[in-house]
């Protein structure tokens, strides 16, 4: 694990196995940083949920539980935001190609709501393909001090 | 804590008390297995009491939908009881809140099956 702190900025980096246990580990890792950043309970719940959904995508759909592939989780605490980057080594996907889970045809599908929930719970979501393989998902939540 | 499921009979309605986390893995598969078992036994009136559910992810939502359609396809009804605010919020943003028949009190929920 890499950890780099200085002033108010902090970045933590981890490589995790492609297993469901890593979903819990990533959630804890991110929530520890988010708490220190000053996020309150409701936002912590949303951040945790978005991280879990992203990790499930990386482990299940990206790396397909491969023992030879890792998921990289990086979380950065800035002055006004938390940024989480989750990268897998899978085949990748097109964000625009994902079906809309709110459309009538898809409403009763058993799956396909993960990215939709991430968008609902975070302020920003960016997805990019990695070379030679993999997907990097970046989630941002802004800290609104009350 | 993962999910804890216990069933009880109230008249001809099977009430499933669900507690803990319904997430990908043990939680959602336990719920799926129980729903399939109930359907295979011919139970047609199923009330899922989610009052003690602390956390549900997209996989858990998928299992609720799957249970709803499986029970309906077998001529039965699956209804929800006692949603926490977080579960209610999730069902609302996924537009599923109006798909399910949701109740706040058990007696009223049981009567609604008649």
In chain A the domains, ranked by start, together with CATH numbers, are 8-142 (3.30.565.10)
**Is B72 part of the contact surface with chain A (CB cutoff 8 Å)?**
no
Q: Scanning every residue of chain A, which has its alpha carbon at the shortest distance from the alpha carbon of B85?
A: A42
Q: What is the Cα–Cα distance from A79 to A142, expressed in whole angstroms?
A: 9
Residue spans of the domains in chain B: they are 4-111
Q: What is the ipTM of this complex?
A: 0.88
Mean pLDDT of A129-139: 95
Q: What is the CATH number of domain B4-111?
A: 3.30.750.24
pLDDT at residue B33 greater than cutoff 90:
yes
A95-118 per-residue burial string, b: 16 or more CB within 10 A, e: under 16: eeeeeebeeeeeeeebeebbbbbb
Kindly list the residues from chain B whose CB atom is less than 8 angstroms away from the CB atom of residue A25.
none
Q: What is the Cα–Cα distance from B6 to A141, expressed in whole angstroms?
A: 38
Percent share of chain A, pLDDT over 70 = 92
Give CA separation, A75 vs A28, A124, B7, in Å: 11, 14, 42
Kindly list the residues from chain B whose CB atom is less than 8 angstroms away from the CB atom of residue A109.
62, 65
pLDDT at residue A70 greater than cutoff 90:
yes
Q: At what angle do helices A114-121 and B85-93 cross, to 10 degrees?
A: 110
Of B58, B69, B99, the CB nearest to A53: B58
Kindly list the residues from chain B whose CB atom is less than 8 angstroms away from the CB atom of residue A116.
94
**Is B93 part of the contact surface with chain A (CB cutoff 8 Å)?**
yes
Shortest Cα distance, chain B CAs vs residue A127, angstroms:
19
Selected for mutation to probe chain A from B57, B88, B97 (highest A CB count within 10 Å) is B57
Mean pLDDT of B20-39: 90
Q: Which residues pair with B29 in a beta bridge?
A: none
Shortest Cα distance, chain A CAs vs residue B90, angstroms:
8
pTM of the model: 0.90
pLDDT of A6 reads 44
**SS3 breakdown of chain A: % helix, strand, coil, rounded to 5?**
35, 30, 35
> pLDDT confidence of B97, banded at 50, 70, 90?
very high
pLDDT of A2 reads 58
Burial (CB count within 10 angstroms: exposed 0-12, middle 13-18, buried 19+), residue A55: buried
CB neighbourhood size of A1 (10 A): 9
Show the tokens assigned to A107: 């409403």
Q: What is the Cα–Cα distance from A51 to A46, expressed in whole angstroms?
A: 9
pLDDT at residue A33 greater than cutoff 70:
yes
Q: What is the Cα–Cα distance from A58 to A89, expressed in whole angstroms?
A: 8
pLDDT of B28 reads 85
């Amino acid at each position: 694990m890499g950890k780099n702190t200085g002033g108010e900025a902090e970045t933590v980096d981890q490589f995790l196995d492609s297993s469901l246990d890593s979903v819990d580990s990533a959630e804890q890792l991110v929530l520890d940083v988010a708490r220190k950043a000053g996020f309150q309970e409701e936002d912590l719940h949303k951040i945790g949920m978005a991280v879990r959904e992203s990790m499930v995508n990386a482990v299940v759909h990206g790396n397909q539980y491969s023992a030879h592939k890792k998921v990289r989780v990086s979380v950065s605490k800035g002055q006004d935001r938390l940024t989480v980057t989750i990268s897998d080594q899978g085949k990748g996907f097109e964000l625009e190609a994902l079906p809309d889970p709110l459309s009538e045809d898809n409403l009763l599908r058993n799956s396909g709501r993960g990215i939709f929930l991430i968008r609902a719970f975070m302020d920003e979501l960016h997805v990019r393909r990695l070379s030679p393989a993999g997907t990097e998902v970046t989630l941002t939540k802004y800290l609104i001090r009350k | 804590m993962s999910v804890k499921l216990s069933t009880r009979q109230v008249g001809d309605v099977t009430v499933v008390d669900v507690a803990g986390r319904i997430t990908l893995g043990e939680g959602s598969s336990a719920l799926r297995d129980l729903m399939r078992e109930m359907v295979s036994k011919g139970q047609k009136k199923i009330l899922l009491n989610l009052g003690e559910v602390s956390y549900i992810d997209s996989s858990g939502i998928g299992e609720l939908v799957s249970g709803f359609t499986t029970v309906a396809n077998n001529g039965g009804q699956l209804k929800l009881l006692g949603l926490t605010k977080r579960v209610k919020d999730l069902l609302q943003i996924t537009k599923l809140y109006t798909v399910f028949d949701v109740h706040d009190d058990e007696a009223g929920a049981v009567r609604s099956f008649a």
